[in-house]
């Protein structure tokens, strides 16, 4: 019974990685999301990725960008546009998940984001991502936090 859950987790981990990279590309290039999606689907191996989850993240984060950024910008020490583009892509994607994907536990969202920041971000970026998302999750997912 654990196998399907682990498989779904692994598929979503890979989907998040691709989505973060695609959102990074979109942010820097301004290219059309559909064109970016086609490129990723052609260039990357999606046999071990949740294609639908990738699609959702890639299209819903930009569609809800103002709402997503508003949910985490109060916890930043600088304006969103002055952030490192990798950190910005990770925070946007994770905040969207915290807002819209209540089926994914907040701890999973934070852990996956920290791992992406460790892999793709600056040396200490993961600590910053962790702190910002922890504060955002307390607000967005207050029902999941134990009573203080």
What residues make up the domain containing 30? 2-142
Which has the closest alpha carbon to 101: 50, 147, 53? 53
Residue 54 sits in a domain whose CATH number is 1.10.940.10
Alpha-carbon span 106 to 111, nearest angstrom? 9
The verdict on residue 25 lying in a domain is yes
Encode pLDDT of 98-133 as tens digits. 999 999 999 999 999 999 999 999 999 999 999 999
Alpha-carbon span 91 to 110, nearest angstrom? 10
The verdict on residue 106 lying in a domain is yes
The verdict on residue 117 lying in a domain is yes
Domain count, the chain: 1
Q: What is the pTM of this model?
A: 0.93
Encode pLDDT of 133-144 as tens digits. 999 999 999 988
The secondary element (H helix, E strand) that includes residue 57 is helix 51-63
The verdict on residue 9 lying in a domain is yes
The verdict on residue 147 lying in a domain is no
């Amino acid at each position: 019974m654990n196998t399907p859950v682990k498989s779904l987790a692994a598929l979503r981990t890979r989907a998040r990685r691709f989505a973060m990279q695609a959102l990074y590309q979109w942010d820097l290039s301004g290219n059309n999301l559909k064109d970016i999606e086609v490129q990723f689907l052609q260039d990357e191996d999606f046999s071990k990725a949740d294609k639908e989850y990738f699609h959702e993240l890639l299209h819903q984060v930009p569609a809800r960008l103002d709402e997503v950024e508003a949910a985490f910008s109060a916890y930043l020490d600088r304006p969103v546009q002055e952030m490192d583009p990798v950190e910005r892509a990770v925070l946007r994607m994770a905040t969207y998940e915290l807002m819209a994907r209540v089926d994914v536990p907040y701890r999973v969202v934070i852990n996956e984001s920290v791992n992406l920041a460790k892999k793709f971000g600056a040396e200490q970026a993961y600590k910053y991502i962790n702190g910002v998302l922890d504060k955002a999750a307390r607000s967005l997912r207050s029902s999941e936090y134990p009573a203080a």
